Amino acid sequence: MSLIITICAELNNRISKGCLFLGGLSIVLMVAAILVQVVFRYGFNNALPWPDEAARFCMLWMVGFLAPVALRRGGFVAVDALAFALPRRLASILNLLLIMIASLVVFMAVKIGWSEVTGFSGRFATAALYVPLSFDFSEWFRVPRSWMMASILFGFTWMLFIQFELFAKELYTLLTGDNHSAGKASEEGEC
């Protein structure tokens, strides 16, 4: 079990690094799109059609990249006073139960994300978001809405893997009475 936890922790550490970068890039691009819109709308009195959609696109991907990192770091709101008040084994059992319930919710969100990407709403294109297909900008491609909705699928799928890691660590704690610390130092130091 220790090997499984170590492999999950290492994989999630590597994905976290990339997603922190991509999440930061999404924030920068979102702010840039909003600033372009503000300058054109209020400076030139000519609102552009694409910046609002580009900012929404970046915001969704920012959440898809950074929400799993927050989950792994314990950055979501949690009421853990009961777990601290309970004996260690009982607290581990409670944590396992809560992780399983959260995993069920995340699994349902993955199903919703899949249906958003492949289903009815994924068949439409965005209203005003285009990307060039040629270097001379003579051909343009209208961005499918499914590219935007794929952020939901990505974020919740990765959350499911993180839930697996958290479950394995908590189960290890329950069975051995010792916290699994493999990857803990590198996890805290690299993010």
Does residue 62 have a pLDDT over 90? Answer: yes
Return d(Cα 22, Cα 31) in angstroms, integer.
14
For residue 180, what are its two tokens?
């699994």
pLDDT tens readout for residues 10-55: 888 999 999 999 999 999 999 999 999 999 999 999 889 889 999 9
Q: 82-122: per-residue pLDDT in tens?
A: 777 788 888 888 888 988 998 999 999 998 888 877 776 66
DSSP assigned state of 50: S
Of 181, 156, 179, 12, residue with least CA distance to 95: 179
Q: How far is CA 167 from the centre of its chain?
A: 18
Q: How far apart are CA 179 and CA 187, in angstroms?
A: 15
Domain range annotation of the chain: 2-190
- Between the two ends of the chain, the Cα-to-Cα distance in Å is 25
Question: Which pTM does this prediction carry?
Answer: 0.79
